[in-house]
Amino acid sequence: MTPLEHASSGRSLRAFLVLMLIWLALLTLWFVLQASVWVVGFVMLVTLPALLDFVTGRHAWLQLDDTVLRWGSGKAEGDVALARIDHIRLETRLDFSIRVRLVLEDGRRITLPQDSLPPHPRFQDAVEARGIRTERHHFVLFG
């Protein structure tokens, strides 16, 4: 079976454009609408992690073959043999993003890093083709 390989970087045109649009909106609020410097400064602070990812070019990846699932995000990496996975939970969060959790045979759960994931339909098809059961859970608040 063809391995699934996915890679992404924090240094992308999309990330750059989103940061620039947010900063342009904040500067417009500050200079044109005379918003408080504290409000503008706080929102700019919230964008610093995205700026750091962009500047460092943080790399995230995921590889799935017939025996093992490997992933990495920044300096964190992990892998698990497919034989140890009982099922995979695909949880839709309130912001409509998908959280992927591996539920192992012993009951432990491993949450995969969000930035290492390929589009969820592609990922779900690839793991189901390898005989791993998936579960969809929509709008999970806790768990």
pLDDT in tens, 66-91: 999 999 998 899 999 999 999 999 99
pLDDT in tens, 30-45: 999 888 899 899 999 9
What's this model's pTM, rounded to 2 decimal places?
Answer: 0.77
Statement: residue 140 has pLDDT above 80: no
The pLDDT score that the predictor gives to residue 142 is 67
Question: Which residues lie below 8 Å from residue 85, measured CB to CB, with a gap of 6+?
Answer: 69, 102, 103, 104, 105, 132
